[in-house]
Amino acid sequence: MDSSPLYLGFDFSTQQLKAVVVDGKNLDVVHHSSVQFDSELPEFRTQGGVHVHADGLTVTSPVLMWVKALDLLLAKMEGAGLDFSRVAALSGSAQQHGSVYWRRGAAETLRRLKTSSTSPLHLLLQDCFLLSDSPVWMDSSTSNQCQQLEAAVGGARRLAETTGSRAYERFTANQIAKVLQTGPPNFLLDCERISLVSSFAASIFLGDYGAIDLSDGSGMNLLDLRTRTWSQACLDATAPQLERLLGAPQPSASILGPVCSYFVHRYGFSPRCKVVTFTGDNPASLAGMRLQEGDVAVSLGTSDTLFLWLQQPRPALEGHVFCNPVEPTAYMALLCFKNGSLTRERIRDQLSPGGSWEGFSAALRATPPGNNGIIGFYFDRMEITPPAVGVYRFDADDGEVSQLSAQQEVRALVEGQFLSRRLHAERLGHAPAAGSRVLATGGASSNRELLQVLADVFDTSVYTLHLSDSTCLGSAYRALHGLVAESGVSFRESVREGAEPQLVATPHPAARQVYGSMLKRYARLEERILQTAIQGAAGTPPSVTPLPQL
C-alpha cells in the first residue's frame, strides 16, 4: 500500500469547483475531480456559474451553491477511492475579488464543524450568509463607488501606488461600499465578517474564519502593497469598522490550522492535515507554473494574459500588482489584453478562405523580423491594455496606411501584439535578466513560428508548459510548501520535482536591435492613437481605418 503524503488543491472558479491531488513523492497528479455548477446544481439556476441581474451590470453567484458543490465534490472523490487520510495538507484558490458576507453568529456555526456531524455542509451553513448571492469578479456595477474611492484617497494614480491598481468595478472595496450603500438595513450591525471567496472556502475547512491571504487581498483596492497591511485611508473611504470585518491579512504560505473534525469524521481526513491559506486563481496559477524571478508567463487564449514576477512593485494606471503568492518579499503583476486569439483567427482567415494555421506560419516565415518597418495595432474590440479600439497600420515613416499584403498583415499583427505585451510588462517593472524565461501557455502556444516572434520581441528564450490546470495544481503545490515554509524552505525548492517547461524558441541574435528600436516607435505610435481617440471623443473625428466585420 502506498503511504506517501498527498497534497490537495481546490479551485472555486466561476463555472466549476475542481480538485487536484498530487503525490508528495514525485508531484505526480494522482486524482482530479470537478463539479459543474450549471449542470450538476441546476437548482441554483446559474448560467456559467453566475446570475446576471436586470441592469446587465450586477453579477452574483449563490454562496450555498459553492458550499453544496463542495459536498458533491468530496463525495465524488470518496467514491473514486481517494484515501483522504493520506492528505498532509490542503489549500485552494478561488475567482478573485468576489466577497462573502457572514451573518452575526456565523462564527459559532462554523465552530460547530469542529464537533462531529454528518449532515451535509449546505444544511449546516444555510443560515450563515447575510447576502445569499455574492458579488463576483464579473460585476461592473460599482462605477460610482470607484469614483468615490479614487477621490477620497487623492486620485487614481495615488490609489494604484498604494494598492497596486486604480479603482476597478470588480475590486472588493468598491463591492463592499455598494453593499453598504444599497444592501440590507443594519448591514454593519448584522455582518460579522467579510471574506473573499478564497478565504470563505478556507473557513469551511478550518471551522473558523480563515484569514485573507496577502496575494488575493491585493485584489481589493484595500491593501497597502508595501506595508502588506490594510491601508487606513482605503478602509476609511470604503466602510466604517472594515478592519474588524476583514480580519488581519496573512502571508500566503501560512498554516491556518488543522482541518476541522467534520472532515475527519465524514471523509476520513487525518486530524493532523493542515489547511494552508487559500488564494486567488491568478496567484495560484503563477504557483502552478512555478514562475521564477525575472520570468513572464504569457497565456495566449481568447484574451491574452500576462503574469510577471516582480521584485519591486511599479504600479501603473493599467494592470494590477499583487503581493507574490510564493515569495514573501516579491510581487506579481497581471495584465489582460482582450484582443488575443479571436483577432489572430480573423487575420489567419484573411489569408485564404477557411484559413489554416499552416498558412499563418508560412506568412511569418516569408516576412522578415521588423516587417520592413511596418507596425500594426489590431484592437478589434475595445482593448483593456491600452483602452483603445480600431485597426491602425503604419509604414516605416510612421505614416498611416490603409492596407497591407496578407503576409505583411500577419506579421504586423503578431509583432504588434507581442510588442504591446512587452511594452506594458516593462512599464509595470518587468526587467529580464540572464536566465529569465517567457513561459507560453494556452491554445496558440503550439505554433512554433508565433513563439519564435515572441522570443525575438522579448529577446528572451520561450518555453512551453502544457498543464491541464495550473490553478488547481498551484493550490496543491502551495499546500505542500505551506508545511515547510516556516523552516525556511523556498517554494521553488519544495516543488523542484514538478513538470519542467520545454525550451521551444531562442531569440535570434539580430532581433535585439530590430525590436529594441521598434519598441520605442510602438510606444510613440500607441500614444498617438490614444491622443487621437481623446481628441475624437472631444469632437474632432479621428482618422481610423473602419473596423472589419467580425
Applying CB under 6 A, the residues found at the interface with ligand 5FX are 13-14, 95-97, 137, 170, 219, 280-282
Q: What's the closest the beta carbon of residue 333 comes to ligand 5FX, in angstroms?
A: 11
State the cell numbers at 238. Answer: 470604503
Spatial strand order in the sheet of 502-505: 320-323, 331-337, 304-310, 296-300, 438-441, 462-464, 502-505
| Residue with smaller CB distance to ligand 5FX, 169 or 459 | 169
Q: What's the closest the beta carbon of residue 154 comes to ligand 5FX, in angstroms?
A: 23
User: Does a cis peptide bond (omega within 30 degrees of 0) precede residue 42?
Assistant: no
| Residue with smaller CB distance to ligand 5FX, 282 or 436 | 282
Angle CA(474)–CA(476)–CA(477) in degrees, nearest 5? 60
User: Which residue type is seen at 510?
Assistant: A
List, in order, residues 6 or more apart from 300 with CB less than 8 Å away: 340, 341, 440, 441, 442, 443, 444, 445, 450
Q: What's the closest the beta carbon of residue 93 comes to ligand 5FX, in angstroms?
A: 9
Measured between alpha carbons, how far is 61 from 317 in angstroms, rounded to an integer? 29
| Residue with smaller CB distance to ligand 5FX, 264 or 284 | 284
List, in order, residues 6 or more apart from 155 with CB less than 8 Å away: none
- Measured from the Cβ of residue 300, the count of other Cβ atoms closer than 10 Å reads 24
Q: What's the closest the beta carbon of residue 541 comes to ligand 5FX, in angstroms?
A: 34
State the cell numbers at 317. Answer: 494606471
Quick check: 291 and 432 in contact, CB under 8 A?
no
* Residue 100: strand pairing partners: 195
Q: What's the closest the beta carbon of residue 171 comes to ligand 5FX, in angstroms?
A: 8
| Residue with smaller CB distance to ligand 5FX, 97 or 266 | 97
The full DSSP string for 56-110 is SS-EEEEHHHHHHHHHHHHHHHHHTT--GGGEEEEEEEE-SS-EEEEETTHHHHH
| Residue with smaller CB distance to ligand 5FX, 52 or 523 | 52
| Residue with smaller CB distance to ligand 5FX, 335 or 444 | 335
| Residue with smaller CB distance to ligand 5FX, 107 or 384 | 384
Q: What's the closest the beta carbon of residue 197 comes to ligand 5FX, in angstroms?
A: 9
Q: What's the closest the beta carbon of residue 23 comes to ligand 5FX, in angstroms?
A: 27
Q: Please report, to the nearest 10 degrees, the dihedral formed by the alpha carbons of residues 483, 287, 61, 342 taken in order.
A: -170
How many residues in the chain? 550
| Residue with smaller CB distance to ligand 5FX, 320 or 393 | 320
Q: What's the closest the beta carbon of residue 96 comes to ligand 5FX, in angstroms?
A: 3
